[in-house]
Amino acid sequence: MIEPERDLGTLELSDMIDVPALQALLDDFYRSTGMLGAILDVSGNVLVAVGWQDICTKFHRCHPDTAKNCAESDTILTQGVPPGTFKAYRCKNNMWDMVTPLMIGDRHVGNVFFGQFFYEDETPDREVFREQVRRHGFDETEYLAALARVPRFSREAAQIGMQFYAKLVGIISKLSFSAIQQSRLLAERERTQERLAASEALLRSIMDNLQDAYFRADLSGRFTMVSPSALRMYRYESIDEMAGLPAEALYGDAQDRVAMLDELRKSGHVDDRVQLGRRRDGTTFWVSMNAQLCRDASGKVIGTEGFVRDITERKRAE
């Protein structure tokens, strides 16, 4: 499972590919063609393997000296192969391997192998392998029997098999990189949505606790947003009831609305404008208004917004 918050440089190959799906794919390919294969990360860890021979699994990868040869073959002899190409080499345990690098983005994260095998047009030197028996203490009968079972391919068949793996690597690379990018985009979208939700929650909290009334109106003068405090101040039952009301409905004198808009157009804002407000029941009261023009991202005016404070007590004191 890809962890989108991790940097690509910290991800292992096993984090970036679907190992079970690739194992199933190569199992089917091996059953159909007899072509061996394996996917290893750059540290030499085997992630996917098909058709591996007893001479490798029961001998070479079990003895510490020959296992070291395997590790060096898997990691050192595979270096320097350009992406999209492959090379054949004789491993340090004297069998043939072919390899193509697996890149995710511009990072070398693993290798795909075709091997181990012998070519049909060559005869393995049994004395070389008998020497390995003596050097490492292998059971000679079992070891040479395992050697006899190592598959042999024509050079053309080996090339075709490796061409398939090279193309498969290209597909894996593109899909894995796309999956990482998609995962990161989704994670960033989730973070953006979380930030937006937090901002909306903060805005609701502020709006719910306002003492002054907040209004926003479109260019036609109809309310698009009002605070809960506006309901209390103007004695309406619900925000839905106020939404869509013409702003003139809350003015004690309609001419005050005209004068306020005039001032807004001239200066772009209104500060502490004292006028009469009108409640839902028709009664009036003194208010102080602060307002400004609302603009979109391009600077175009799209409406007005402002705060209204009930100053009835202040006017009485005056």
Of the pLDDT bands very low, low, confident and very high (cuts 50, 70, 90), residue 317 is: confident
Inform me whether the pLDDT recorded for 128 exceeds 80. Answer: yes
Superfamily of domain 8-186: PAS domain (3.30.450.20)
State the Cα–Cα distance between residues 17 and 179, nearest whole angstrom.
9
Give the contacts of 58 (CB within 8 A, at least 6 positions apart). Answer: 142, 146
State the Cα–Cα distance between residues 87 and 100, nearest whole angstrom.
7
Mean pLDDT of 100-115: 91
Mean pLDDT computed over every residue of the chain:
90
Mean pLDDT of 260-288: 94
Query: How is the chain split into domains, by residue range?
Result: 8-186, 210-317
Query: What's the whole-model pTM score?
Result: 0.60
Measured from the Cβ of residue 156, the count of other Cβ atoms closer than 10 Å reads 9
Inform me whether the pLDDT recorded for 284 exceeds 90. Answer: yes
- The neighbouring-strand residues paired with 287 are 275, 310
Give the contacts of 71 (CB within 8 A, at least 6 positions apart). Answer: 44
Mean pLDDT of 266-292: 95
Q: Tokens at residue 80, please?
A: 């320097």
Q: How does pLDDT run across 144-159, given as a tens digit for each residue?
A: 999 999 999 999 999 9
Q: Which fold has domain 210-317?
A: Beta-Lactamase (3.30.450)
* CATH fold match for the domains 8-186 and 210-317: yes
**Ordered alpha helix ranges (H), 2-125:** 13-16, 19-33, 54, 64-75
Return the closest-CA partner of residue 133 out of 145, 118, 122: 145
3 state SS of 60: helix
Which pLDDT does position 2 carry in this prediction? Answer: 47
Q: How does pLDDT run across 214-235, given as a tens digit for each residue?
A: 999 999 989 999 999 999 999 9
- The neighbouring-strand residues paired with 216 are 225, 305
DSSP single-letter state for residue 222: B
